[in-house]
Structure 1
Amino acid sequence: MPMTIRRLCAVLRVSGKTELLLVILFAAGFAALPVLALLPSLWGFTAAWAVTYLADETLHNRAPGFVRRLATLQLSRTMRFAVRTVMLLALADRTDAPDGVLITGLAVLSAHFLLVMMYSALHHAIRRRRVLPVVVCNLDMSGIDIPERPPAWLYRRFLRKLLHLDLPAHAGLIVALATGTWYAAYAGYALTIGAASVALAALLGQFRAVRRMPGRDAVIAEVNRQLAAHRPEVALYFSFAAVSRDFMYQVNMWIETLEQLDRRPVIVLRERASFRFLARTRVPVVCVPKADDLAELDLSGVQVVLYPGNAGKNVHMLRVAEAKHVFIGHGDSDKLASSNRVSKVYDEIWVAGKAGRDRYQRVRHAISDEAIVEVGRPQLAPVRSHAEHVPGPVPVVLYAPTWEGWSDDDCHTSLIPMGVPLIEGLLAENVRIIYKPHPLTGKRSAEAAAADRTIRELLREDEDKGAKAAKGAEAARARLQEIRARLDEMSGRHEGDDAQQLRDARVPDGDGAAEWQELRDEWHRIFWASRSGTRHHVILDQLPTLYECFNQADLLVSDVSSVVADFVASLKPYVLTNALDLPDEEFRAAYTTAGGAYLLDRACTRLPEILRSVREPLHDPMAARRRTLKEYVLGPDRPTSMERFNAAVNDLADRSTAERAEDLLAPLA
């Protein structure tokens, strides 16, 4: 039975039994409407009508995946509202309502749908005009006149609000059918058509205001004026098609490093959705979706361009011949991406330690040794070492699998072959589990998505929700929400569109950094303290951060990925999944980070022995190997990673400046 429920949830794209029950009520209600209308049964129809309304609205909030599935089956929200309306009119006809009531109802409800269509067209026109060629953050754009975004009650979720204006007409007609007096029907009709007309008139006023939106050339010219005042020398350039799935961690991990550089930085993004996940920064950020608009930006002073990811749109920046282009990646790992032959297009490749250099050298014709620079990993400063870690009464195991990759060739995730047995084995060993899947888990593979859901259910079922833990978590929730709201505000994140983002853009003051860090520290402190009695955690949001999960864990279980290389900084025990059951020597030879790892077989039979290294720290035969591996993978502790990274930027910027000077003098020689 539980397996059947899980399969139904997977097919219907709902997360649990409550949502599944809502789907059943929703389907039963809609199936009952025509039957009860034709019988006719007024009270039965009213009950089914109310169920469909309430279930529909609740599913939008709790099971958006199911609602999207309905839309693909041509059962959109508008269609569902139309079905309810037609069934209600059929009920009225079957109960011998006067022709005047029926004809007026048909006319009013048809006019309501026409007004919804007109409102949608007007909303689309306003939204299209408010899409700008460039969106910025941390530049002062007050010099350009951009109209305020329409008020939220008119603009956001407008279709939901407009369609629900049929409620007065529906309710009035039902009351009229029940009482036999028809004034209620006419009153409901008047309220529906009047409210929809007022809303349309109000949005028309907003359309007049948006007609004075500045054009493309004016916007780009103002952005260029602000860039000229900032005079950026280093650009971090990022593009990724899946950015809406929080791929911005690849940028966010570099923000603090950029802010500490000697050279003035700028961040260049290519997808509008990037702002949704951008962390707080005082670095100017410019988002330019189109390549021809990017070409219009004045980035002539940029000497060094840093690329945290390989993407097709990188070519739009690589064509700038005057700058030096560097692939910095988003973490060193043994995946193909960390030694890709595409890296030949960059002037230099910056890696954490000698392991990264050797990795590129193993790939024939990848890149010359002179172009590889070891700069360490400046991001790892928050990771506490094993010497600072105080174990709790129960071992804490962090399971952080990678995702399934773009193809089966680079599929390193353990979720599909052994994720569920691993969690079942850990649960049998009486440990606390922190489960933090990759943000893209399940994007390409339905099997990975199913394994992810099963793991979450297993952890929920095993969760020990004692009264004390629940009470503590409830008391802390309000403060956590308050802190998150303040962090979102400080990061410049809001629900506005392109134009509003540009209108609100200002140069940040220098006083927010300390408050930002204090709030993040407080959030993590409250979060972990309020869950001290909680057995397991499923981490899906940006907070708590991956490195804070590192600090909580006694042991990491992960796949071949940069997560493992970063965890090496802690010198704590870690486990690599060997889903193919390769011989240990072969696996360690293939993957550098396996050198200090415990290797877990597909059947997880080694798990009890591996956990002994946590329960009995003196029985940890891999400890010495981890110490050796740390310097090989991440580089030496001195000079610091930040010092080495900053020096590499300065050196390359100086070389870029010198080469430009030579190019200018060459025609005069």
Structure 2
Amino acid sequence: MDVQPFTSPRRRTGVSRIQRRTPHRTPPHKTRPFLRGSLFMTFRWWCGVLRVRGKTDLFLVFLFAAGFAALPVFALLPSLWGFAVASAVSYAADEVLHTRAPAFVRRLAALQLTRTLRFAVRTVMLLALADRMDAPGAVLVAALAVFSAHFTLVVLYTAVHHAIRRRRTLPVVVRNLDMSGAGIPQTPPAFLYRRFLRKSLHLDVPAHAGLLAALAAGVWQPVGIGFALTAGLSVAAVVALLGQLRRARRMPSRDEVIGEVNRQLAGYRPEVALYFSFASVSRDFMYQVNMWIETLEQLDRRPLIILRERASFRYLGRTRIPVVCVPKADDVAQLELPELRVVLYPGNAGKNVHMLRVAEAKHVFIGHGDSDKLASSNRVSKVYDEIWVAGRAGRDRYQRVRHAINDEAIVEVGRPQLSSIRLHSDHVPGPLPTVLYAPTWEGWSDDDCHTSLIPMGVPLVEKLLAEGVRVIYKPHPLTGKRSRAAAEADRTVRALLRADNERRDAERAEAAVAAARPRLAEIKARLGELSGRLGGDDAQQTREARVPDRDGEGEWRALRAEWHRIFWESRGQVRHHVVLAQLPTLYECFDQADMLISDVSSVVADFVASLKPYVLTNANGLTDEDFRAAYTTAGGAYLLDRDCARLPEILDAVRAPRRDPMAPERRILKEYVLGPDHPTSLRRFNTAVNALAERAAAERFAEEQEVVVELSGRSA
């Protein structure tokens, strides 16, 4: 069957040539909305180009640009006070944008407008101003010498910093193992080590201020004071960092660090490992690991988490499980894991082969959610010993991949993560129907594109707002990473929800959000501490790694519950919300929603556990019969076409539950997709781990016996 591509249909205006030639005066009441729309589109375009998020950031960007553009003008006029104001504005805006709009700063760096270059431009303009104001030649020569020396010292400081960082780069980063015996020295002081370029460049401020003060007063003593401070502080900073370089030379060698890790692992004796790698690890991907942590902690066997990218530690959730991050394949081979029996893989990645080589263990693909996408029945999964799926639907999905996966290799274990999701019967509706719109991302290619955001996301949200519902919008973390159209639709949806929130009693709602913000920040900081996110670089975190106790687990659960309670109470029951961060969690959004609207993805399969109504988007225009035949999770779904014509009828399933004809289908689908409720999913998962571990141990024992027999035969 032909599938329509994701392109917007052309609209025929139906306007004749005569009508187009006839002058027409638009009434004022129609012109104003048009102008507002044009201004809004222009604003969004500028935000997209400059990589900023809102009006305040856009204003700062224009202020920053105006400050730099004014520097040569005021230097050549010359205008001392104008230059002083422009310089101060450029300094301040530059600093604030680094915090508020890092994407804009990265865009500048990509255009070679780096921070160092911006400081150099500001200095050159200051020298031009001094020359135009007839400063003495000796002052100009001294200024040129001091500023040149300062930039030279900045280069030297950067080189020393990089040397320290290279020495402090460990082959293995560790959490939840006692690494106090590794002999790793303390990290350099934060004021010397962190954000070093920003701090070293700003040492030119005394020299700038002294020269401007001298030009204003007509006396040259301030110049000497300012130059002396800049030169002295720059030299002192380099000398202090050289002392830290001497300490960094005492870092343990690669073999010493790996040896200490192996000693700690020998004492722990891990039996099950969760292995994760991805090409670009960030919070966009670590959810694939975090969703399995609680399940691993409840296994009968001793678990271990093995990561491959250093950035993954930044977004790893709280766990008492030992974690080792080993970036290089050669170092993975140096890990000694003699009792390892089962290795679990939540994702398919090229670096998985570095662990698959361990023949003594059994390798299992567990994935990060069941869905009807091709990735959930990939032929690559044939390299694993077993594939664990939630329910019968997963088994059938792999069976459709002919001549690839043996039925004996597929094990149904359920989804242990879903036990906390609130059932439809326990849900208490709010004053307005709450719809969770959670579109998937655009995929690595157009062939994988299942997202509704591009063809119908904006009109869908517009119609939801027209229907008077509350919207919780949670896009996939990778939304807009590949497709500019998806990124643009995402920005438009956020803007629509923000504008509607402003219309709905904005002042009272903003006051409640502002009042809750300090406590939410305090809880989040404490959660970070309890999660083991220590300060310092990777070497410092490994140095301070210790075996955790269980005392913090109760506090961590209580604080997470309190964070979610305060968060939702402060937002009210009518305010829309855009969820982008790790908190609130996806499953907390499930509990808030009366209905889900999503695309073909694992989000839908997980939502089925709640038995609440859900909607699948059918943007390609398939018939209902073909769509349900193609996608298993459509069996209990309401289907929404690209024009969203059925939306009012679908919302009746929330407004009047008795008109919910798909409720029986959802109950049937739940067991088919997620497996039976008894025994529990956690118990089934634990049983599968134990059975496979025992099988691996038995096979290894048999191999050892064969070797013994063979050696005995040779000796005889």
The one of 655, 660, 669 equivalent to 1:615 is 655
CA contact (8 A) 2:430 2:573 kept: no
Match of 2:22 in 1: none
Match of 1:327 in 2: 365
How far residue 501 of structure 1 moved from its aligned partner, in angstroms, is 1.3
Letter in 1 for 2:642: R
Return structure 1 stretches of 4+ with deviation > 3 angstroms: 465-468
The one of 511, 514, 521 equivalent to 2:561 is 521
SS across alignment from 1:557: strand
| Distance in 2 of aligned mates of 1:494 and 1:578 | 46
Matched ranges for 1:555-574 at <5 A:
555-574=595-614
Letter in 1 for 2:409: A
Does residue 1:554 correspond to 2:594, yes or no? Answer: yes
CA pair 531-617 structure 1, distance change in 2 beyond 3 A = same
When the two structures are superposed, what TM-score results if normalisation uses the length of structure 1? 0.99
Match of 2:20 in 1: none
The one of 484, 488, 495 equivalent to 1:450 is 488
Matched ranges for 1:267-286 at <5 A:
267-286=305-324
CA contact (8 A) 1:234 1:305 kept: yes
Match of 2:471 in 1: 433
When the two structures are superposed, what TM-score results if normalisation uses the length of structure 2? 0.92
Match of 1:301 in 2: 339
Does residue 1:541 correspond to 2:581, yes or no? Answer: yes
CA contact (8 A) 2:432 2:574 kept: no
Letter in 2 for 1:361: Q
Letter in 2 for 1:426: L
| Distance in 2 of aligned mates of 1:226 and 1:456 | 48
Does residue 1:644 correspond to 2:644, yes or no? Answer: no
SS across alignment from 2:65: helix
Matched ranges for 1:109-188 at <5 A:
109-188=147-226
Report percent identity of matched pairs: 75
CA contact (8 A) 2:341 2:360 kept: yes
| Distance in 2 of aligned mates of 1:48 and 1:479 | 38
Does residue 1:603 correspond to 2:643, yes or no? Answer: yes
SS across alignment from 2:657: coil
Match of 1:486 in 2: 526
Letter in 1 for 2:316: L
| Distance in 2 of aligned mates of 1:468 and 1:64 | 30
**How many residues are matched?**
669
Match of 1:50 in 2: 88
Match of 1:346 in 2: 384
Alpha-carbon deviations, 1:236-264, whole Å to 9, x = none?
A: 00001221243110001000100110111
Query: 223-232 vs 407-416, which deviates more?
Result: 407-416
| Distance in 2 of aligned mates of 1:112 and 1:574 | 63
Match of 2:269 in 1: 231
CA contact (8 A) 1:352 1:377 kept: yes
Matched ranges for 1:618-629 at <5 A:
618-629=658-669
Alpha-carbon deviations, 1:192-250, whole Å to 9, x = none?
A: 11111111111111111111000000000000000000000000000012212431100
CA contact (8 A) 2:171 2:331 kept: yes
The one of 289, 309, 318 equivalent to 2:356 is 318
| Distance in 1 of aligned mates of 2:551 and 2:105 | 44
Letter in 1 for 2:458: V
Match of 1:6 in 2: 44
| Distance in 2 of aligned mates of 1:448 and 1:467 | 31
How far residue 381 of structure 1 moved from its aligned partner, in angstroms, is 1.0
Match of 2:430 in 1: 392
| Distance in 2 of aligned mates of 1:81 and 1:668 | 72
How far residue 472 of structure 1 moved from its aligned partner, in angstroms, is 2.6
Match of 1:94 in 2: 132
Query: 176-185 vs 13-22, which deviates more?
Result: 13-22
Match of 2:398 in 1: 360
CA contact (8 A) 2:431 2:573 kept: no
Letter in 2 for 1:219: V
| Distance in 1 of aligned mates of 2:637 and 2:67 | 55
CA contact (8 A) 1:340 1:366 kept: no
| Distance in 2 of aligned mates of 1:502 and 1:461 | 46
CA contact (8 A) 1:349 1:373 kept: yes
Matched ranges for 1:459-498 at <5 A:
459-463=497-501, 464-498=504-538
Match of 2:626 in 1: 586
| Distance in 1 of aligned mates of 2:181 and 2:508 | 55
CA contact (8 A) 2:618 2:640 kept: yes
How far residue 327 of structure 1 moved from its aligned partner, in angstroms, is 0.2
Query: 428-437 vs 459-468, which deviates more?
Result: 459-468
Letter in 2 for 1:610: I
How far residue 44 of structure 1 moved from its aligned partner, in angstroms, is 1.7
The one of 521, 536, 539 equivalent to 1:499 is 539
| Distance in 2 of aligned mates of 1:551 and 1:75 | 46
Larger Rg: 2
| Distance in 2 of aligned mates of 1:228 and 1:126 | 31
Match of 1:659 in 2: 699
Alpha-carbon deviations, 1:326-355, whole Å to 9, x = none?
A: 000000000111100001000000000000
How far residue 142 of structure 1 moved from its aligned partner, in angstroms, is 1.1
| Distance in 1 of aligned mates of 2:60 and 2:574 | 28
Alpha-carbon deviations, 1:81-127, whole Å to 9, x = none?
A: 00000000001001000111111111111111011101000000011
Letter in 1 for 2:229: L
| Distance in 2 of aligned mates of 1:143 and 1:222 | 7
CA contact (8 A) 1:234 1:265 kept: yes
Question: 5+ unaligned residues in a row in structure 1: which ranges?
Answer: none
CA contact (8 A) 2:431 2:574 kept: no
Alpha-carbon deviations, 1:491-548, whole Å to 9, x = none?
A: 1113421211110110001222211111111111111111115511111111111000
SS across alignment from 2:282: helix
Match of 2:548 in 1: 508
| Distance in 2 of aligned mates of 1:237 and 1:538 | 32
Letter in 1 for 2:646: R
Alpha-carbon deviations, 1:636-663, whole Å to 9, x = none?
A: 0000000000000000000000000110
Match of 2:458 in 1: 420
SS across alignment from 1:667: helix
| Distance in 2 of aligned mates of 1:480 and 1:494 | 20
